[in-house]
A and B are shown apart, each in its own frame.
Chain A
Amino acid sequence: MKQSKLICDYSHLASFMLRTALAVPFLFVAIDATLQPEAWVGFIPFFLRNLFPETLLLGAHAVFDFILAVWLLSGWKIKYAAAFSALNLAAIIIVNLTALDIIFRDVGLLLAAIALGVLQFKK
């Protein structure tokens, strides 16, 4: 009984920390990709760059990351925000596997997104 109370009390804090942990990098990427796109364009896969202009792809992803960050911070329907975050991060990891020395941190973020989804699943 005491243990379940403890879990109940700290689940809000855990959810808040996970939401913040995901939202802050998404916000940073959205802003930094807008301010200095040349530092981020290398993470867009070549097959997409051949189909669409780089600035369009980068801008669209920055907007998507910004919306995800705001959604995560808002606390509204978090399990869906966590699912979109996990899919976003999984896509980034898969298309940038050759740069694993840089994107290995995204694996941690992906697991954080999954943890957030699990935490919110029955809510």
Chain B
Amino acid sequence: MSSVFTASFITLAIAGIADAGYLVWKHYHNSSKPLVCPLDHDCSKVTESKWSTIFWVRNEVLGLLFYVSMLIAGLASFFMPGLILVSVPLILLIKLAAGAGLVFSLFLIWVQIYKIKDYCFYCMLSALITLLLLVNSFFL
């Protein structure tokens, strides 16, 4: 395993935590002020739409849990190489989880384009980070 790719995987996971964490923080602790979008765009139309939750859990919370689990898995793959969880190698689990994350991100992009007809910068950024995590997972 290449530790350079482990470092880049962990870097991406932390970037994802920052992205999703900002959305969670804004929603639960600082919702009186609008999201600061780098594109000067109103993201709240997306983040506060009816599509903002799935199975009663907000998407940004799911994203935060996903990135935290990716961070833990990345660290575990470095410090415990060859770790097997429930008969499945950790590296395979990371690939499957990153793939599932990307499918969910693509679904959310589809929702933004065809249902909400608007976009959220941080959601797009999250999809990009998830794509990079999946690509990176093949080099772990």
Contacts and interface: CB of A to CB of B under 8 A. Distances in A.
The answer to whether A and B interact is yes
B14 interface: yes
Interface of B is mostly: helix
Provide the main secondary structure of the chain A interface: helix
Interface residues of B, number: 16
Interface stretch (A24-32, A79-87, A96-104, A115-123): A24-32
A12 B38 contact: yes
Given A35-B6, A36-B3, A27 B15 contact: yes
B5 to A, nearest CB: 10
A84 to B, nearest CB: 18
Contact of A31 (B10, B36, B37, B38): B10
- Ranked 10 nearest A-B pairs via Cβ: A16-B38, A32-B7, A31-B7, A13-B38, A36-B3, A27-B11, A28-B11, A35-B3, A12-B38, A73-B18
Interface of B: 3-4, 6-8, 10-11, 14-15, 18, 36-40, 78
